[in-house]
Structure 1
């Protein structure tokens, strides 16, 4: 690819340095050929927590990297402008400044803030000048069952309001019925409505039935131009798991090997402990390499995770665990 083409395809997000995935024509032969050895994936996933262990300064460094990858999120029916402003303040200063000074990371921030459409303007104003992107959930989140034209318009309205990342939800029945053309067309329309904003495709993997469906849905969404694929809305009964993550990550690797375009990954829901974040970081490093440990290619969809990481960093520096209430989100 010529340099001018790369520059034209690269999005303007502060941390984005890759050419965007432009998508490709739907290749049904490739999709239908995808198989997943579920027992092998589950065995591999079961070994992950014990395969990699980082301690002391190395663990602190990995945890700081995890902070930079968090989409700090509030998606509650009782969200208020005050809550969102406090969350944005936490994104700008995720850890006690005295601790950050000791770690020599005074400018550390989270990867993004993720909110509903109504709170985009509040978040954008609160984060002005910081370079921290605002992500908005869209397309009838979390079920994704509102009329199609309204879902597309919701994306356009969120981009117009200032969101630079859009987390969309796919129609699960397209996957369950094997209607890959419908899923491709839907995802392509969502990508086009996003314009310059990056689009994260939420698969709601806990509702897709099988790992094979997860792998095929991942591939179709990438073919349609998804910048990220994401496990869950956080509202399903089963959210991010290691077998699902391994399946999606290997689909990303296959897509990169075939097309040369890197697609990001976002596990969301149920990741609340620092030790879990370390496992996911190790998984990404093992399967995709260091390049995928940057904010433009990897995010955690989380809120409570940050509090536990801050506690672990304080313990690393002082030798004492603090109470959880000392690390509130706002």
Structure 2
């Protein structure tokens, strides 16, 4: 039997996916200088666009039967970062969102709660008060979200403000202009500085893949973020189209696999923006399982950044339980 081959056409080992690096990278001294970091990132293997998109399409056709579908829907609910990031956000809206995160289906106490509520820094204290004692995390965007165009001092102040208000997790955005200009060291230093400002809070690094233009850039940005200390890598702010896509998510999961297999440090992944249906969510869960294994099928290591996805999951969940599809009036409008 020939050895297995991944989407890049490279031979892989028969070790479990979560421990199997794509290839043996020499990471010694990679972050010691701008030249070394540039040499490593530009030396990463090119992405086979056709192969990547074909593999993600195949994974998206997997059939999931009723029992597994019910379990997958509950798992997807537990993985959601229920999000409101609008200029018109109010304390009342955040409190309502927190109530929904605690009890997504008020009529069904068996429905799990979401992983987190994600808000702007000035709403963190409100969310923290509402979620105290629930185990639901409070996430906050920071670093001049969504553009990332501000000074490092402002970005660090933004991060510290969110953490001091009680944020358990910080979602930062990279400076895409710096990255696309090839100023990799500047992006690395900024991520590392924000990581330091997070204290005990976990750091999710948003790549804004819709602005990175190529799959090769997505792979480089994923590695750059992980090398700089990201606890999670995240596709998008949700403010740019395209946001999360299955091929980009697969590529980022492969980068996580390779990095973890090479370093032994486990990193999470979060697709965000544009994932609206249960069917789509299940495709992502299949992709996680096939790429990283069951160890990543946990809110600790995989999240959905979403606002409308939860509603469809709730409607599908009720249909599985009762045989009836309630429609959009069954759930709250966020």
Calculate the TM-score normalised by the size of structure 1: 0.88
- More helix as a share of residues: 1
Q: Deviations over 1:129-166 (max 9, x none)?
A: 11111000000000010222101111011100000100
Q: Deviations over 1:195-241 (max 9, x none)?
A: 11000000000001101000001001100000000000000021000
Pairing partner for 1:118 from 103, 118, 122: 122
Structure 1 segment 106-145 matched on structure 2, within 5 A: 108-145=112-149
In the TM superposition, residue 323 of structure 1 has moved relative to its aligned partner by 2.0
Alignment correspondent of 1:19 = none
| Contact in 2 for aligned 1:136/1:167 (Cα 8 Å) | yes
In the TM superposition, residue 187 of structure 1 has moved relative to its aligned partner by 0.8
Note closer, same or farther for the CA distance 1:45–1:157 as it changes in structure 2 (3 Å cut).
same
Aligned residues: 300
Mark the runs of 5 or more structure 2 residues left unpaired by the alignment.
1-28
Alignment correspondent of 1:82 = 92
Pairing partner for 1:41 from 31, 52, 62: 52
Alignment correspondent of 1:156 = 160
Say yes or no: does 1:271 pair with 2:267.
no
CA–CA distance in structure 2, aligned partners of residues 167 and 121 of structure 1: 16
CA–CA distance in structure 2, aligned partners of residues 145 and 182 of structure 1: 13
| Contact in 1 for aligned 2:210/2:242 (Cα 8 Å) | yes
Mark the runs of 5 or more structure 1 residues left unpaired by the alignment.
1-23
In the TM superposition, residue 48 of structure 1 has moved relative to its aligned partner by 2.1
CA–CA distance in structure 2, aligned partners of residues 152 and 78 of structure 1: 24
Task: Name segments (4+ residues, structure 1) moved above 3 Å.
Answer: none
Q: CA RMSD for the aligned pairs?
A: 1.3
Secondary structure in 1 aligned to 2:269?
A: strand
| Contact in 2 for aligned 1:90/1:329 (Cα 8 Å) | no
Pairing partner for 2:212 from 208, 217, 230: 208
| Contact in 1 for aligned 2:56/2:287 (Cα 8 Å) | no
